[in-house]
Amino acid sequence: MMIYPAIDIKGGKCVRLVQGDAGRQTVYEDDPLAAALRWQSAGAQWLHVVDLDGAFVGASANMEAIKSIVLSVDIPVQLGGGMRSMDVISYMLDEVGVSRVVIGTAAIEQPSLVEQAVRRYDNRIAVGIDAKGGMVAVRGWVDITGVSACDLAGQMSAMGVKTIIYTDISKDGMLAGPNVKAIADMAKSFAGDVIASGGVSDLDDIKRLKEAGAAGVIIGKALYDGRINLEDALELEE
């Protein structure tokens, strides 16, 4: 299992939202790079960065912050938010140096983009499946679709996607525990790796997700609030 500290960027700052609501925001760092360097120093092997402005409006507003992180850390960066064209995906992977991008909204609205990206970049492409009540949400979690998360995972597997990041929106930022059953169901139905996101509040949550079959866990608010010590969490990777 891999632990991914989360760095969510909005307006150039490192923030956390509650259930994806842009109106319920806490700023943890004025400079996201400070968070990136802190998690790297603590032993993180990956970083999970989200361009929230890109997720909400489909265009990056935090390019300088993203570039500074990628250029300054020695560990791979996984980036999501606004990956809705091949030009953007290629720029992030080939020019900026991001190790893996996460396609979210486009997986529903432009499935051909996922196919094209996977053909070109293989396992450097992940698909983010964000769900509420088992149904996929898009455009920064603003719109709930009529597509079930498991159905979308099956479609992505058929396209050759090897990594899915599953987020239960109702759990995100709540520190009330993850949706372990949903992760277990996803891990059973998807042939590749499932990375769990949303609701992780303590080390027991990480252990339960690992037992459920998660290949990775993204941790955000619990790290920033000091509920989880990253060094302790990293011991669970083995």
- Residues involved in catalysis: 8, 130
Q: What is the 3-state secondary structure (H, E, C) of 96-139?
A: HCCCEEEECHHHHHCHHHHHHHHHHHHHHEEEEEEEECCEEEEC
CB crowding 169-198: b at 16 or more within 10 Å, else e: bebbbbbebbbbebbbbbbeebebbbbbbb
From 148, 100, 104, 144, select the one nearest 127 (Cα to Cα): 104
CA dist., res. 73 & res. 94, Å (int):
17
